[in-house]
Amino acid sequence: MEAKINRAQRWVRMLEEDTRLLANRVRELTPERQKSAKDYAARLTEHARAQLEELIEQHALLDSMESTPHPAD
């Protein structure tokens, strides 16, 4: 689970850093295509953030279940 969280964090970080460079890469495109590319990048970044949050919540839930005392047999 921690490996998945680490990968998701790297993915989000990479997408956020790439957002700054996107304007340079799309400047040759028409304004409509620039907007489309930027909108897609924003949706992709938001999706990656949501997945990261979900993984963190699942990890917290698993941790809390593991630390809950169980009755003795």
Tell if the pTM clears 0.75, that is, is over it.
Answer: yes
Cα separation of 67 and 31, whole Å?
54
The residue assigned the tokens 């047999």 is 73
Cα-flanking dihedrals φ and ψ of residue 44, to 5°? Answer: -65, -45
Q: Is the pLDDT of residue 26 over 70?
A: yes
CA-to-CA dists, residue 45 to 9, 10, 21, 28, 69, angstroms: 11, 12, 14, 23, 38
Amino acid in the structure at residue 50? A
Which tens digit of pLDDT belongs to each residue from 40-64? 999 999 999 999 999 999 999 988 8
Q: What percent of the chain has pLDDT over 90?
A: 77
Cα-flanking dihedrals φ and ψ of residue 28, to 5°? Answer: -80, -10
